Amino acid sequence: MWTPSAERIDLHETVLRERASLFVGGVSAGVDPGGIDSMIIFGTKGYLYQLAILTLVCGHCGNPSAHTLRKRVTKFTLFFVPLFPFSTKYQTQCTFCGAEQKVTKEQAEQLQAQGAGSQGGQPYGQPQQQPYQS
C-alpha cells in the first residue's frame, strides 16, 4: 500500500495555498505557535453613488446634454466585510457621447448644489438607498 511522504504533502499544501492566493484579493497564511494553519483574507470593494443628473455642455462633444455626477468609494475589506474607505473619486459622464471627466470633491459639491438649486431645492428623482456595487 502506497503512503504519501511528508515532503510530498507539504509541497501539495504549498501549491494549494499559491492557487488560492490567485483567486482571492489577498491571502496571508502562516502557522501559529500551536501548529494550526491560519489564513487572513483581505481585499477591496467598490461602491458607486449617483449624486445628481445635471444639464451641462459637454467638453468632448460640445452638446448641451444630461451629465451624471458620480462618486466612487473603494473600501478595504477583511474577510469580505467592508471596514473603511481608502479612496474616494468624483466624475461626470455625458449621457450623449459617454465621455467621462474627473472632478475634485469641491467641484462635485458645487455642481451638486447648483443642481439642487436649479430644481427648487429638491434632489433629482428618488433618493438612492443602496449604491451600485462593482
What would the pLDDT profile of 21-68 be if each residue is shown by its tens digit?
A: 434 455 555 555 566 778 999 999 999 999 999 999 998 999 999 999
What would the pLDDT profile of 64-113 be if each residue is shown by its tens digit?
A: 999 999 999 999 999 999 999 999 999 999 999 999 999 999 999 999 99
The secondary structure element, H or E, covering residue 89 is strand 81-94
pLDDT at 37: 78
- Report the C-alpha gap between 91 and 69 in whole angstroms: 6
Which residues touch 70 (CB under 8 Å, ≥6 apart)? 48, 49, 50, 51, 90, 91, 92, 93
pLDDT at 38: 84
pLDDT at 34: 62
pLDDT at 133: 57
The secondary structure element, H or E, covering residue 70 is strand 64-78
pLDDT at 131: 53
Which pLDDT band holds residue 15 (cuts at 50, 70, 90)? very low
Residue 31 C-alpha cell reads as 502557522
Q: What is the pTM of this model?
A: 0.60
pLDDT at 6: 47
